Amino acid sequence: MEFNRYIWDLYKNSKEGQTYIEYYRDLNDTKIQELKQKYEFVTKVGFYKDAKSKEIVHTKNLIEIVKNFKINNQIKNINQAVNYFFELINDGIPIKNPFSENAKLFGENGQHLQYDLIFVAPVSIGLYLKSPDYFFPLFETYDFIKIINLIKGFNLNLPEIPGKLDFLNRIKYYGKLCKLFYNFRTNNNLSPEELCAFLYDFGPNVVEKKFDENLPEPSKVWFIGGGINDNGDIEFLNEEITGQTIAGWQGNIDTRRGDIIVMYCLKPMSAIHSIWRAYSEGYNNPFFGFYNMIKIFKPIRVKQISYQELAHNKVFAKNALIRRRMQGINGVPIKIHEYNELLTILQSKGQDISALPRLSRIENISTEHLKNEKDVESNLIEPFLKRLEYERVDWQRQIPVKMGSGYSYFPDYAIGANMTKGNEKAKYIIEAKYSIHNTKKLYKDYYQAKSYAVQLNTLGFALAAKEGIWLYFHDGNNDYDFERNLFHNWKELENPDIFHNVLLKIGRNKILK
């Protein structure tokens, strides 16, 4: 959606809007403490005598340090502001440390940049207090999915998130967000405090989906792990979770909303603790130390299944995660037969498994009654598109494709089509055939669909017939290699593990992202 000035003005002039805008006009210490509790960001830096020590021996308020940091040259535009931030990060922020002279937070040659990521929030607040025209307070460093949804929801361009190990540029990512929101703010004539109200009240209320209790069917099961030594996970899991708890956790980027999440507690418990559902899809969080993140909810405590029980179970003993003693657990997939075995173990322990989520095979996909191409379309392709999470508005039937001087070719299904005359494009196409029963027929149909794909500049295309579906992908050279197709018959696609792999390749979130 686009920013609607009329709706914004209604909000701005409302009592609620005025309250939020005024709140950000002067962020005093009391408000910062309130925000700290709400958004769970760190405001102090702790120093350790050695790498293993866990006793904080000295703290300093980081917001005040940044706020009062001297700027050699006056910032006159957004580019200078972003460059100032980049230089601040490259040079490092001088911090008083009783164990080291010339100690700095961040720094181009910093040794602990992965851990410094947590300090982006207080640094952003200090910069906002120093120069609100160019900087904004980034509270949602932990729950960054809300910022992602906001940016995408208002049709802004999300800056590319740096890679997992590029910690310096992950810290600098805040500067790119400053430029993005500065341009948005000035283009829409918002004050700095109005931008804050937009980011943390108006915008989320407009774009965030109101998740209800009707979750989509799970497409996969995943392990995640919590609790080792005294990091607080076990206390949280044992004492604070309820059926309504929503928590952020390290997970797999391929997690889909509704997926089943098996929580395993590491040492000292070393046992399966609870089963959750995925509240969000997996996403990359530049300010979260472990990068890949999911949100989980609807936890159900279960009878504990110890590591030893899993290691000696005939099914789980073959699992690579079990063999490596649960190392790297977060986001490891669990196959359908393994999850079913897990339910069997729980039931043998007296667990009522009727309330636990199930990963069911897709209902039998019959092809025996199909008589023509139209039957393939209505009985196979369109239900398949729905399972891939496409909505009816996402695809068009038989769009005209310009070939030579006319428009005489019509691919059966065009996903994400742009029908600007003379510049027709589509994200993906599917060609329907009644039967592709041999290689000769496959070659013929492949070249027909490929010609459409090249003309429409698609990411790939599929051939679908009663025998199954063939997937082809753009190889970067404006070609679609015949030999590199991915084929599955419809019976195989009843298996959730196989279908999930296809979902990741041509599902709605992949093609229309």
Which two structure tokens, joined as six digits, stand for 346?
A: 């729980």
389 Rama sector, left if φ>0, alpha if ψ -120 to 50, beta otherwise: left
Which pLDDT band, with edges at 50, 70 and 90, does 55 fall under?
very low
> Does 48 have pLDDT greater than 60?
no
pLDDT in tens, 115-155: 788 889 999 999 999 999 999 999 999 899 999 989 988 98
Stretch(es) of the chain classified as CATH 3.90.1570: 373-511
Mean pLDDT calculated for residue range 323-344: 94
The H-assigned helical ranges of 154-265 are 167-187, 192-197, 203-207, 233-235
The H-assigned helical ranges of 269-332 are 307-311, 320-323
pLDDT of the residue at 187: 96
| Strand bridging mode 401-403 / 260-265 | unpaired
> Does 110 have pLDDT greater than 60?
no
Report the share of the chain in percent with pLDDT over 70.
Answer: 89
Rounded to a whole number, what is the largest CA-CA distance in the chain? 81
Give the per-residue SS3 of 248-285. EEECCCCCCCCCEEEEEECCCCCEEEEEEEECCCCEEC
Which pLDDT band, with edges at 50, 70 and 90, does 461 fall under?
very high
Report the share of the chain in percent with pLDDT over 90.
Answer: 58
Nearest to 61 by CA among 132, 134, 130, 123: 123
> Does 27 have pLDDT greater than 50?
yes
pLDDT of the residue at 56: 45
The H-assigned helical ranges of 59-199 are 62-67, 78-91, 113-116, 120-130, 145-153, 167-187, 192-197
Is the previous residue joined to 268 through a cis bond, with omega within 30 degrees of 0? yes
| Domain 373-511 = CATH 3.90.1570 | yes
Mean pLDDT calculated for residue range 483-505: 90
Stretch(es) of the chain classified as CATH 3.10.590.10: 221-355
With tokens 């050695």, the residue in question is: 50
DSSP state of 107: -
The string over 295-330, giving b where at least 16 C-beta atoms fall within 10 Å of a residue's C-beta and e elsewhere, is bbbbbbebeebebeebeebebbeebebbeeebeebb
Q: What is the CATH number of domain 221-355?
A: 3.10.590.10
More confident site: 367 or 177: 177
Half-sphere exposure at residue 325, Cβ-oriented, CA atoms within 13 angstroms: 1
- Mapped onto helix, strand or coil, the DSSP state of residue 488 is strand
- Mapped onto helix, strand or coil, the DSSP state of residue 133 is coil
Mean pLDDT calculated for residue range 227-256: 80
Mean pLDDT calculated for residue range 465-483: 86
What's at 28, amino acid-wise? N
Mean pLDDT calculated for residue range 461-466: 96
pLDDT in tens, 194-223: 999 999 999 998 887 555 556 788 889 999
pLDDT of the residue at 185: 97
* Residue 45 host element (H or E): strand 44-46
Environment class of 224 (CB within 10 Å of its CB; exposed 0-12, middle 13-18, buried 19+): buried
In angstroms, the CA 400 to CA 200 distance is 44
